[in-house]
Structure 1
Amino acid sequence: MRQLPPLTAVRVFESAARHENFTKAAAELGMTQAAVSYQIKLLEERLNVSLFRREKRRVALTDPGRRVATEVGRAFDTLDGAFASLRAEDEKALNITTSYTFANTWFAWRLGAFQMANPEMAVRLLTDDGLADFAGEEVDIGVRTGMGEWPGLCADLLFQVFFTPMCSPAFLERHGGSLTPEDLLKVPRIGPEDPWWAVWLRDAGVTIPDETPRGIRLGYQAHEGHAAMAGQGMAMLTPFFWRNDIAEGRLVCPFDQLSSRGWGYWLVYAEQRRNVPKIKRFRDWLLAEVRRDLAALKPMMPASMLEVHRHPSRASAA
């Protein structure tokens, strides 16, 4: 039976010995300098030998530390070679999970650009409104809605979720060319059971009746937006998803009010995989795409619309 010290501590030692610098080791491993120091101390106590001399503003390997560092470095080179083929295979595929709404209103329209820029990689998009298990499923990265708090996952905010009623120009014209918030209780609404309606109407100062609202129920914003473009009613939509349709006149926003429940769309991935090259590459690409579309959306929105009413919620969804 092998009598090995804690492998986490050995991994930290290998990096710290190679750099002879705790700060550089911490940056390489995605740890804090204090965590590196703790793991080195743990290893020294386990071996009952000093591996580093702590000098002013620097560390240096002791003679025993230098001897073992050479052997440990060779061992890690052997391990690196053993797993190299698996890493290469993993880099050839990227599995992304997200919700039906995000996939169909925005993501699927742009994912091809990433694939074209990375032709050696097979990109697979999985749509599921449930939360993916990053530990138990073959998932590399995901996009989720919520408050950004998922244990074990890193979360980068893509954009905050705002919403406002939208309709086709023809629908608005059929109803006099303009509407008041109170009028929304009388005109056909798409997805009237959506809680966003109650939030937006209350923000607009409208008293909501107790009866169950009537209207088309389609379940997904992707369906509701297209139904609105077809003139079937007023839909509660997120302007970010429908930027092109607003710009090209298929949808209009009759009101200068945005509302929010405090949610955002987040890019998520396992903490221990934050430095995997394909994840870093995709993260950089997606953040740049979102920033570009957010910048393009602002000129289309009246200044008053950018003053958002917020209703924080702790709930989250995939």
Structure 2
Amino acid sequence: MARRALPSLNALRAFEAFARHGRMTLAADELCVTHGAISRQIRQLEGQLGVALTEGPRSRLRMTPQGLALALALSPAFDQIEAAVPRPPQIGPRPLVVSCMPTFAMKWLIPRLPRFQAAHPEIPVRVMESNGPFDYQADGVDLAIRMRVPGRAYPEDSVETPFMGHFHGPVMSPDLAASIAPTLEGISALPRLHTRTFPESWSEWEEKMPGKLPEPVSEQEFDHYFYLIEAAAAGMGVAVGPWAFVQRDLASGRLVAPLGFVAGEAQVVALTPQGPPPAATIAFRDWLVEEGRSTPLPPTSPEAACDSGAER
């Protein structure tokens, strides 16, 4: 068998963690190493491959198109490896299994999870990333977090608890935003980015705007929101991003939202099986409601506000 021409697996793992989280510090926390170790591994990988995988200042580092293409291949490959690894029998209390949308888990849930663990150290939590259908019994799911979209069905035996509104708006890199006017016309001049997991994002956002957007100059689709967000941060175009997904990237300056955000039709909900839930599930569901209530509202869209004012 021919020898595989692969770069360092440690370097690939470090880069994949950075690609998912969008920040060196979060990747370092996941892999239990220092920020500098992640940076060195990525530089080593770039040297082995002979291409730049990241660009921009250290405080707003983003992936290049070559880096994004590599990340798109690495994440599912590591998912397959993780699923195939044998695990020892469970020791200690059974974890609460939470099925969650991948980008919501990375950008909203996991950064807040230490607060739940501090309040409930007796309840271990396992986050299982998934956008698709699930079965409470077959998949061992105690609670699922999903986007409640009108017309999209979830298991009939579910009890829904909405815990956060859905706000979305166009986001892009600061450099790209500086090249256009912060208007609908300016947005229309940019490549338009989409995600397969929520294809109606642009049309739903457009409905809240005064007037119709012209045809885009070009379009590109990504499998997951976290790749869409990284593509926007890399300057590849403009994406309609949910506030819950991009709030931290806006705060760090990796992304900007020149037109603000509007309320969407969806809601973020916690789904639990019918019947009296266990105490651990109740505690986590109630914590989600409190965290959703404490999440700050986004800046509103001036275009949409002007439009609604004209209608009144």
TM-score range, shorter chain: 0.5 to 0.7
Decide which of 276, 279, 286 is 1:277's aligned counterpart.
279
Query: What is the rounded CA distance, in whole Å, between the counterparts of 1:184 and 1:124 in structure 2?
Result: 40
Q: Following superposition of structure 1 onto structure 2, how do residues 1-318 of structure 1 map, counting pairs within 5 Å?
A: 92-146=94-148, 147=150, 150-175=155-180, 178-191=181-194, 194-208=199-213, 214-256=218-260, 258-260=262-264, 262-274=265-277, 276-293=278-295, 296-298=296-298, 301-302=299-300, 304=302
**What one-letter code is carried by the residue in structure 2 that aligns with 1:191?**
H
Distance 2:217 2:177 in 1: 20
For the 8 Å contact 1:246–1:252, the answer to whether it is kept is: yes
- Work out the percentage of aligned pairs sharing the same amino acid: 24
Q: Unpaired segments of 5 or more residues in structure 1?
A: 1-88, 311-318
Residue 242 of structure 1: CA displacement? 1.9
Cα separation, 2, equivalents of 1:90 and 1:284: 24
Opposite residue 273 of structure 2, the aligned amino acid is: A
Equivalent residues, number: 213
1:304 Cα shift? 4.7
Q: CA RMSD in A?
A: 3.2
- For residue 126 of structure 2, what is the amino acid of its counterpart? R
Unpaired runs of 5+ residues, structure 2, are: 1-90
User: Helix, strand or coil: the match of 1:297?
Assistant: coil
Question: What displacement does 1:282 show?
Answer: 0.9
Cα distance, 1:308 vs structure 2: 11
Q: For residue 67 of structure 1, what is the aligned residue in structure 2?
A: none
CA distance in 2, matches of 1:204, 1:159: 23
| Counterpart contact for 2:195–2:223, Cα < 8 Å | no
> CA contact under 8 A between 1:198 and 1:208: conserved in structure 2?
no
Would the aligned equivalents of 1:199 and 1:259 in 2 still touch at CA under 8 Å? no
CA contact (8 A) 1:144 1:267 kept: yes
Aligned CA distance change for structure 1 residues 213 and 184 (closer, same or farther; 3 Å)? same
Matching residue's letter, 1:121: I
Aligned pair in 2 of structure 1 residues 144, 256: CA closer, same or farther (>3 Å)?
Answer: closer
Distance 1:257 1:95 in 2: 32
Structure 1 residue 257, shift from structure 2 partner: 5.2
